[in-house]
Structure formats: C-alpha cells, structure tokens
C-alpha cells in the first residue's frame, strides 16, 4: 500500500459504546504499548488473542495504514441533540468568563492555567486555539514572546531536539478543542435557554 499520513481525532461521549458496534483493531504506541484511544479499521497485522496491532504507528503509516483516535468527551452527554449543539456553537461567546477562576478550573485543557490566561487575553476562537497550542510541551518556549512572533511560529512543526518532549497540537486539533471550550462557556451563558442540561460543565470534564 501507498504511504498514508493522517492524524485523525474524533471526540465522542463514550468510545466503548461506539466501538463495540464496529470491527476494529486496537493500535500500538511508538513504545510498543497498547494504545488507549487509537484503532485501525483496516486489516493491519494483529495479535488474535488481544486484538492489538503488531505494528507501531510510524511503521503503519509507511505501509499505508492510518490510526484513528476516539477520545471520550463527557460534555456531549449534556447536549440533547445535534441541533442544540449547532445552535450553541453559533451563539456569540462571552470570553470574559475566563476572568473567573472557578469557571476556568472546570474547563477542558485550561483548568490549571488561569494565571497565564489572564496574561494572554482571549477574545476569539483563534486566540484560544493559539493558547491551547502554546501550553503543549513543544511550544512552551513561545510563552512570553511577542504576540506577532507567536502567531508566526505557533503552527510550525517542532524541530526534533534530543531529550525534549515534541508533543504539540496541529492547527486543526487546536481549533477543534477551542470550539469545545466555546461550547462550555456558551452552556454557562445560555443556561436559561438550555435548562434541560443537567450539569452545565460536568464533573468529568478533563
């Protein structure tokens, strides 16, 4: 097969409930461990006793296979329909809610970064996407830099440095997670309209 490069993440409310209905093979990590979220829907070489792939992601890509990651996101349990989800995302967002430490403490990905958020000044989806990327290990060296400099370099693939964590967000991932935070903030703002939501932020958000 031809080499295929892909980095696909899909957020779901319960990955186990979804995957039990779809034939799949569990992926490996680069260290050779069972992957917690990644699966293959192609017939990649696998252990029939464990249903785990025998091929690491980098090797799988060279062979033309691609892994898809299904990530649990419990906030979707609090949305009653696709229409409600789309309606919430279309509403303007009160980004000033990020000035409230209690609110920030319950948000996806940024809960431990209240002080840094106050310095960064989030006013849009783009701002939040950049912030989410800058707190990843491979981009933390940009913290404190001039905003224009950050925007110029934030989406560049990190240069490999021995002994340094190269984990970073691609632009598409950062914007997707920024949309989830917008959703959480809008659930707070429009709570009267969406009174059917049992827990506006959820105790299980990560």
pLDDT digits (tens, 9 = 90+) for 95-154: 999 999 999 998 988 999 999 999 999 999 999 999 999 999 999 999 999 999 999 999
Burial environment of residue 95 by CB neighbours within 10 A (0 to 12, 13 to 18, 19 or more): middle
Element housing 110 (H / E): none
- The 10s digit of each residue's pLDDT in 154-203 is 999 887 666 555 788 889 889 988 999 999 999 888 876 665 444 444 44
Q: Which domain holds residue 58?
A: 8-72
Residue 3 lies in a domain: no
Least confident of 4-8, 39-43, 44-48, 167-171: 4-8
Mean pLDDT to the nearest integer, 56-67 = 88
pLDDT score of 159: 76
pLDDT of 1 over the 70 cut:
no
Long-range contacts of 118-125 (CB under 8 A, 24+ apart): 122/95, 122/98, 123/95, 124/95, 125/175, 125/178, 125/179, 125/182
Q: Tokens 């105790």 map to which residue?
A: 203
49/144 same-domain check: no
122/159 same-domain check: yes
118/17 same-domain check: no
CA-CA distance, 73 to 10, in Å (whole number)?
Answer: 10
pLDDT score of 151: 95
Least Cα distance to 46 among 20, 68, 31, 65 occurs for 65
């Amino acid at each position: 097969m031809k080499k295929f490069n892909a980095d696909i993440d899909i957020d779901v409310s319960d990955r186990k409930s979804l995957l039990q209905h779809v034939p799949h093979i569990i992926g490996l990590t680069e260290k050779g461990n069972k992957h917690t979220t990644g699966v293959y829907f192609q017939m990649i070489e696998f252990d029939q006793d464990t249903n785990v792939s025998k091929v690491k992601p980098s090797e799988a890509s060279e062979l033309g296979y691609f892994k898809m990651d299904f990530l649990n996101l419990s906030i979707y349990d609090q949305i009653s329909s696709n229409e409600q989800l789309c309606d919430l995302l279309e509403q303007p967002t009160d980004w000033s809610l990020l000035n409230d430490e209690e609110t920030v403490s319950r948000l996806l990905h940024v809960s431990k970064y209240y002080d840094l958020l106050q310095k960064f000044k989030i006013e849009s989806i783009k701002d939040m996407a950049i912030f989410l990327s800058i707190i990843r290990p491979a981009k933390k060296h940009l913290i404190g830099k001039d905003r224009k400099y950050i925007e110029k370099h934030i989406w560049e693939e990190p240069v490999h440095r021995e002994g340094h964590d190269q984990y970073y967000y691609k632009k598409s991932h950062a914007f997707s997670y920024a949309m989830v935070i917008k959703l959480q903030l809008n659930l707070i703002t429009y709570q009267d309209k969406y009174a059917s939501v049992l827990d506006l932020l959820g105790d299980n958000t990560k």
